[in-house]
Amino acid sequence: MSKVIIPITPVYGHVAPMLSIAKDLIRRGHEVTIITGSIFKEAVEKTGAAFVSFTGAADWKPEELLDPERLALEGPTQVNYDLQRYFVSAIPSQYVALQQELEKYGDDQAIVMAESFGFSISPALHGAPGVRAKGYIVVGVIPLAISSIDAAPFGMGLEPDSSEEGRARNIELNGLMKNTVFGDAQKLYEMVLTDLGATGEIPYLLDSCIRADSYLQLSVEELSYKRSDLPESVRFIGALPTPPSVDAKLPVWWSDVLEAKKVVVVTQGTVANGDFSYLIEPTLEALADLPVLVIAATGSKNEVKNIPANARVADFIPFVDLLPHTNVLVTNGGFGGTQQALSFGVPMVLAGISEDKIEGNARTAHTGAAINLKTQSPTPEAIREAVLNVLNKPEFLANAQRLKAEYAALDPYTAIANVVAELDAK
């Protein structure tokens, strides 16, 4: 039995997959402690893991992402803001909490498993003093963000290019991203780690995680572009299987889904769902006169306006039940949701540029399984055209089905458990 400590950034898209992983590790007999935001205490304890709350700057609440100052920003500028306020500023408090848990076991007794923007392990990876873990694992719950000579930097949403000219472009853009676009976040990161006692040169903050013993990316390689310089520590392990809907009740109109010839689902995810005028309402308007059933999964109790006759609305429907009947998913492109859709072979229309979506949506569209509208507030006309293209052009479905087969060949839970066992045997 291994002792595993899992620090998690306190936002749903990071917490949900790590809780699923924790539950599987506990099922296999491991002792798991989870450190995350105080609002997730009940969810953590339901897994059987021990709960420890972050404090101070690390215990921020997901609703803070709706701050008007933040929402006024877009694309890389918003990511730079997020990195500073929610991630880098939280490192000292996160490191204290992690050290307190490691001290209960002592050096080389526990394994630490962070998620891709879980910078709580960065001080340790860069020589800061403190109790050492037996091993450090990173699980990629967002699109792979590390730099590559074959791709433009994370956050720009540009096509990969491994030609001689493309590599020269990539090198220049990676420098620009580190020193200018994310320059403020990088300077703060260097200052924070130095204050915590890090030694040696501190790398680009999005590259720091590759110093972990193992980086397990929740996707298939195509979603990260082919890279000639991929670190040996990085492995692609597929998508976490969508759990069965044990307690969820299907809506009273579920028979409409089963009888429909074509079903289009629209969602704005779990964070950017405060204003349905961005995507859900324009989609309902766009498809109102088409012979399709439109399902709006809102993720909140907010009211949806002007619901047409061919639409149904629910605040929650289990995707494990809905996706097998879905012909097109219209989504803002949250990483977990797109992984689910691809694992079911469902093609998409993507409309989101916040958080990691500008990058994730570009990569998903590059596979040929989706159309990227490159905005978070598309017009009904743009949505209608894109949905009709996906419905009527067989290559979108074919590419989604191809990726479904790739996901089906991978077993992420076993891959994670095997790495835990390898580190514990050291």
Q: What is the pLDDT of residues 55-92, one digit of tens each?
A: 999 999 988 888 899 989 887 888 899 999 999 999 99
Looking at residues 155-160, what average pLDDT do you find?
A: 90
* Residue 50 shares a structural domain with residue 99: yes
Beta-carbon contacts of residue 50 (< 8 Å; ≥ 6 apart): 32, 33, 34
**CATH number, domain with residue 371:** 3.40.50.2000
* Residue 293 shares a structural domain with residue 304: yes
Whether 97 contacts 120, CB under 8 Å: yes
- Strand ranges for 143-288 from DSSP E: 214-217, 234-236, 263-267
Model confidence over 393-418: pLDDT tens digits? Answer: 999 999 999 999 999 999 999 999 99
274: pLDDT strictly greater than 80 = no
Distance, CA of 310 to CA of 112 (rounded, Å): 49
Looking at residues 288-293, what average pLDDT do you find?
A: 97
Does a structural domain hold residue 138? yes
Please give the share of the chain, as a percent, with pLDDT higher than 90.
82
Residue range of the domain that includes 224: 3-238+411-424
Predicted pLDDT at 249: 82
Structural tokens at position 365: 């569209």
Tell me, yes or no, if the pTM score tops 0.95: no
Does a structural domain hold residue 246? no
Model confidence over 332-357: pLDDT tens digits? Answer: 998 989 999 999 999 999 998 877 89
How high does pLDDT run on average in the chain? 94
* Residue 204 shares a structural domain with residue 218: yes
Query: Into how many domains does the chain fold?
Result: 2
* Residue 263 shares a structural domain with residue 119: no
* Residue 194 shares a structural domain with residue 307: no
Does a structural domain hold residue 285? yes
Does a structural domain hold residue 249? no
Confidence band, pLDDT 50/70/90 cuts, at residue 426: confident
Residue found under tokens 């012979």? 291
